[in-house]
């Protein structure tokens, strides 16, 4: 009798678990489409090798800024990822999801149009998945980024900067290169775009044993957003113990600020999430006023090349799929001068050697700290180090030529804002 009751109880327990499991699966499946299930690679178990070292970066107190504001200003040290930047997370997620979906196979080539960091991350992690990497990069990006890419074994095309609407914008070229690789995988050298091709006519893809291409599309691929919604955001929340008042970062593709802000807002809607925007970018206006341009700019007074800025990898004049996922309370503007001065201030006072986007994020952290007042905890992202910015952002002659020679002795460069 006791055995029968035990069996009945066990059956009830199993049934309850089954019902709950169905509820969980149904609930997850009914949420927004971007809440894609974990990739097959992630479900298989713990990651190994190089990709296992991506993420779980420390959250460090920026002492000088914290002491100056009476807030706790913390930086997520993403420059400690294997590839040296926050984009390692995105590269891993994009490749994992592409492999999972069958859009990329081992031996295939990942193509991307990038000003540097995403390209370096893709070139770093692609071999761990058995893939190759081809990058199209604007020729005004710091030359050391191209040199790093070539040293990592990637194929590199440097092209002149043009509007995203131009067919030869570096992103559009990268998209074409992936298509060319797929044609090679299917037809060999025989035919492309309706006419015969010979070996050597596809400079972007490897002629030997080509197994197709995949365009990473970091600006529109929501794997970018998911890398931070599923990874960086939860890490910050755990490291901070759920005690957070503000988060701020700049945006290029928008994946970082979107993924982190949305995750944090879901955890605690009271957390203030802000954007810091560099010169020439339209995102500040979009967040503050709901439009990408001011009235004057909309009337045709906008510069043809608004990206006259020393910062790299941040700022944009269009809305990406990734940025549209952001949950933001407001935005601040930053200047090139402030970014340069901030980088030197952090090096002198904290020993932090940061790149242009990290410096701009710290300018933003100061803006947010002053807006919230003393006693608050604020997190920003230290995207990469200064080692990739030696020819421009950390080059004295270049700064002098552009009227950006640092001269501040403290934080007075922020006082005018």
Please check whether residue 256 is in contact with residue 86, taking contact to mean a CB–CB distance below 8 angstroms. yes
- pLDDT band for position 417 (50/70/90)? low
Q: What is the Cα–Cα distance from 204 to 109, expressed in whole angstroms?
A: 9
- Give the number of other Cβ atoms within 10 Å of residue 141's Cβ: 22
Most confidently predicted of 5-14, 44-53, 136-145: 136-145
In this predicted structure, the answer to whether residue 307 has a pLDDT above a threshold of 80 is no
In this predicted structure, the answer to whether residue 190 has a pLDDT above a threshold of 70 is no
pTM of the model: 0.84
- B/e letters for 393-409, b = 16+ CB within 10 Å, e = fewer, are bbeeebbeeeebeeebe
- pLDDT band for position 332 (50/70/90)? very high
- pLDDT band for position 13 (50/70/90)? very low
Q: What is the Cα–Cα distance from 176 to 300, expressed in whole angstroms?
A: 32
Of the candidate ranges 54-58, 312-316, 372-376, the one whose mean pLDDT is the lowest: 312-316
In this predicted structure, the answer to whether residue 385 has a pLDDT above a threshold of 50 is yes
What pLDDT, on the 0 to 100 scale, is given for residue 35? 52
Report the percent of the chain where pLDDT is more than 90: 69
Q: Which residue has the higher pLDDT, 72 or 48?
A: 72
Burial of 100 by CB count in 10 Å (0-12 exposed, 13-18 middle, 19+ buried)?
A: middle
The predicted model gives 390-395 an average pLDDT of: 92
Q: For 93-179, where are the E strands, in sequence order?
A: 109-113, 132-138, 155-159
pLDDT digits (tens, 9 = 90+) for 89-108: 999 999 999 999 999 999 99
What pLDDT, on the 0 to 100 scale, is given for residue 415? 72
The predicted model gives 300-319 an average pLDDT of: 70
- pLDDT band for position 381 (50/70/90)? very high
Bridge partner list, 332: 276
What pLDDT, on the 0 to 100 scale, is given for residue 159? 93
The predicted model gives 384-411 an average pLDDT of: 94
Angle at 62 between CA 383 and CA 369, to 5 degrees: 95
What pLDDT, on the 0 to 100 scale, is given for residue 416? 56
- pLDDT band for position 193 (50/70/90)? very low
What pLDDT, on the 0 to 100 scale, is given for residue 294? 57
- pLDDT band for position 295 (50/70/90)? low
What pLDDT, on the 0 to 100 scale, is given for residue 7? 44
- Mean pLDDT of all residues belonging to the chain: 84
> What phi and psi values does residue 202 have, to the nearest 5 degrees?
-115, 85
- B/e letters for 333-369, b = 16+ CB within 10 Å, e = fewer, are bbbbbbbbbbbebbeebbebebbbbbbbbbbbbbbbb
Q: Which residue has the higher pLDDT, 308 or 63?
A: 63
Please give the C-alpha separations between residue 126 and each of 98, 120, 214, in angstroms, as whole numbers: 12, 10, 12
What are the tokens at 146?
């191209």
What pLDDT, on the 0 to 100 scale, is given for residue 1? 45
What pLDDT, on the 0 to 100 scale, is given for residue 146? 87
Q: What is the Cα–Cα distance from 155 to 146, expressed in whole angstroms?
A: 10
What pLDDT, on the 0 to 100 scale, is given for residue 184? 86
Q: Which residue has the higher pLDDT, 361 or 311?
A: 361
Bridge partner list, 132: 109
Of the candidate ranges 67-71, 152-156, 366-370, the one whose mean pLDDT is the lowest: 152-156
Of the candidate ranges 240-244, 262-266, 300-304, the one whose mean pLDDT is the lowest: 300-304
What pLDDT, on the 0 to 100 scale, is given for residue 143? 85
Of the candidate ranges 62-66, 253-257, 294-298, 321-325, the one whose mean pLDDT is the lowest: 294-298
In this predicted structure, the answer to whether residue 300 has a pLDDT above a threshold of 50 is no
What are the tokens at 300?
């045709």
Q: What is the Cα–Cα distance from 350 to 145, expressed in whole angstroms?
A: 25
Please check whether residue 195 is in contact with residue 297, taking contact to mean a CB–CB distance below 8 angstroms. no
DSSP 208-254: TT---EEE--TTT-THHHHHIIIIIHHHHHHHTTT---EEEE--SSS
Please give the C-alpha separations between residue 35 and each of 256, 319, 354, in angstroms, as whole numbers: 16, 20, 33
- Give the number of other Cβ atoms within 10 Å of residue 169's Cβ: 19
The predicted model gives 239-267 an average pLDDT of: 98
pLDDT digits (tens, 9 = 90+) for 237-251: 999 999 999 999 999
In this predicted structure, the answer to whether residue 43 has a pLDDT above a threshold of 90 is no
């Amino acid at each position: 009798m006791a055995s029968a009751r035990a069996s009945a109880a066990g059956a009830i327990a199993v049934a309850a678990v089954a019902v709950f499991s169905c509820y969980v699966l149904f609930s997850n499946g009914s949420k927004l489409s971007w809440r894609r299930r974990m990739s097959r690679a992630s479900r298989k178990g713990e990651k190994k090798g190089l990709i296992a070292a991506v993420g779980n970066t420390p959250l460090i107190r920026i002492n000088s800024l914290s002491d100056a504001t009476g807030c706790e200003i913390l930086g997520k040290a993403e420059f400690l990822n294997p590839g040296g930047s926050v984009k390692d997370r995105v590269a891993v997620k994009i490749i994992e999801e592409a492999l999972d979906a069958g859009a990329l196979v081992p031996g295939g080539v990942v193509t991307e149009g990038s000003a540097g960091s995403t390209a370096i991350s893709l070139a770093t992690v692609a071999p761990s998945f058995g893939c190759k990497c081809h990058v199209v990069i604007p020729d005004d990006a710091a030359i050391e980024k191209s040199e790093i890419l070539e040293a990592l074994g990637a194929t590199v095309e440097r092209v002149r900067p043009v509007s995203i609407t131009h067919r030869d914008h570096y992103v559009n070229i990268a998209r074409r290169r992936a298509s060319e690789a797929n044609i090679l995988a299917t037809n060999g050298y025989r035919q492309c775009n309706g006419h015969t091709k010979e070996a050597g006519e596809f400079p972007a893809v490897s002629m030997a044993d080509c197994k197709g291409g995949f365009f990473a599309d970091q600006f529109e691929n929501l794997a970018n957003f998911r890398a931070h919604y599923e990874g960086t955001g939860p890490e910050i929340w755990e490291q901070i113990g759920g005690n957070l008042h503000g988060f701020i970062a700049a945006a290029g593709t928008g994946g970082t600020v979107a993924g982190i802000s949305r995750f944090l807002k879901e955890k605690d809607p009271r957390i203030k999430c802000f954007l810091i925007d560099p010169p020439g970018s339209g995102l500040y206006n979009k967040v503050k006023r709901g439009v990408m341009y001011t009235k004057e700019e909309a009337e045709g007074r906008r510069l043809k090349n608004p990206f006259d800025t020393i910062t790299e990898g941040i700022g944009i004049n269009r809305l990406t799929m990734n940025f549209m996922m952001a949950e933001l309370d407001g935005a601040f503007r930053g200047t090139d001068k402030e970014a340069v001065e901030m980088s030197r201030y952090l090096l002198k006072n904290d020993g932090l050697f940061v790149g242009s986007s990290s410096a701009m994020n710290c300018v933003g952290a100061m803006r947010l700290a002053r807006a919230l007042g003393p006693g608050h905890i604020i997190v920003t992202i230290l995207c990469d180090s200064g080692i990739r910015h030696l020819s421009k952002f950390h080059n004295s002659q270049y700064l002098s030529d552009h009227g950006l020679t640092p001269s501040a002795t403290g934080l007075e460069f922020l006082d005018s804002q």
